[in-house]
Amino acid sequence: NAGVTQTPKFQVLKTGQSMTLQCAQDMNHEYMSWYRQDPGMGLRLIHYSVGAGITDQGEVPNGYNVSRSTTEDFPLRLLSAAPSQTSVYFCASSSDRDTLYEQYFGPGTRLTVT
Amino acid sequence: DAKTTQPNSMESNEEEPVHLPCNHSTISGTDYIHWYRQLPSQGPEYVIHGLTSNVNNRMASLAIAEDRKSSTLILHRATLRDAAVYYCILRNTGGFKTIFGAGTRLFVKA
């Protein structure tokens, strides 16, 4: 298993540009989520999904959209990038078949908005 | 959501045990206590979790207070590779949201 993969690893955007961060998992996990981590801070939940076709907002959803058309993929869209969205973004997945929702994290995408 | 409180940082010597504390005084009866750690430039990784009883696995031990208002992650012999940020998190079996605090940064000296 590749686990949770994220692309790209690094990205630089100009203010106002849009882009999609990709996340995929090959463990057939129902639950997927997106977090952002600002320098020296813990992770904050952006959006999450409990299955294909079902998404919900986390702590900091503004400026981001998600969709879940398949079990494997959970892309995060930045609609109009702002410098405040400069951060490292982590995708995670988990399954209720495993030990009480243990989450597996991807390697992260480092995004800089200028 | 119930919150956790951890010290900002701790220091340990290599090959000595490390006890990382976590307070969660507003924990509910159905909240599980999870620990994750984040090595430099990596995503968090699961360490251990428990409900009421102490737990052991190959990575660490988790000691949970009888009133469940606090817990301690125990690394039996710290190595330089254990230098990381350790997060104590509460997760409810009926819910999905996971709230991460700032965690404890563990420094390990050779």
Q: Is B96 within 8 Å of A105 when comparing Cβ atoms? A: no
pLDDT tens by residue, chain B, 110 residues: 668 999 999 999 999 999 999 999 988 888 889 999 999 889 999 999 999 999 999 889 999 999 999 999 999 999 999 999 999 998 876 566 677 888 999 999 99
Question: Of B61, B8, B58, B4, which is closest to residue B31 (Cα–Cα)?
Answer: B4
Taking only the tens place, the pLDDT of each residue in A79-89 is 999 999 999 99
* Strands A31-37 vs A87-94: parallel, antiparallel or unpaired: antiparallel
A residues 20-39 closer than 8 Å to B (CB):
31, 33, 35
Question: Of A29, A3, A43, A102, which is closest to residue B57 (Cα–Cα)?
Answer: A102
Taking only the tens place, the pLDDT of each residue in A90-111 is 999 988 654 456 889 999 999 9
Chain mean position to CA B101: 11
E-only strand ranges, chain B: 9-13, 18-23, 31-38, 45-50, 55-56, 61-64, 70-75, 84-92, 104-109
Q: Is A35 within 8 Å of B100 when comparing Cβ atoms? A: yes
Of B43, B91, B98, the CB nearest to A106: B43
Q: What are the chain A neighbours of B100 within 8 Å (beta carbons)? A: 35, 42-44
Q: What are the chain B neighbours of A108 within 8 Å (beta carbons)? A: 41-43
Q: How far apart are the first and last CA of chain A?
A: 36
**pLDDT at A95 (0 to 100):** 80
B residues 76-95 closer than 8 Å to A (CB):
87, 91, 93
The 8-class DSSP code of residue A15 comes to: T
**In angstroms, what is the C-alpha Rg of chain B?**
13
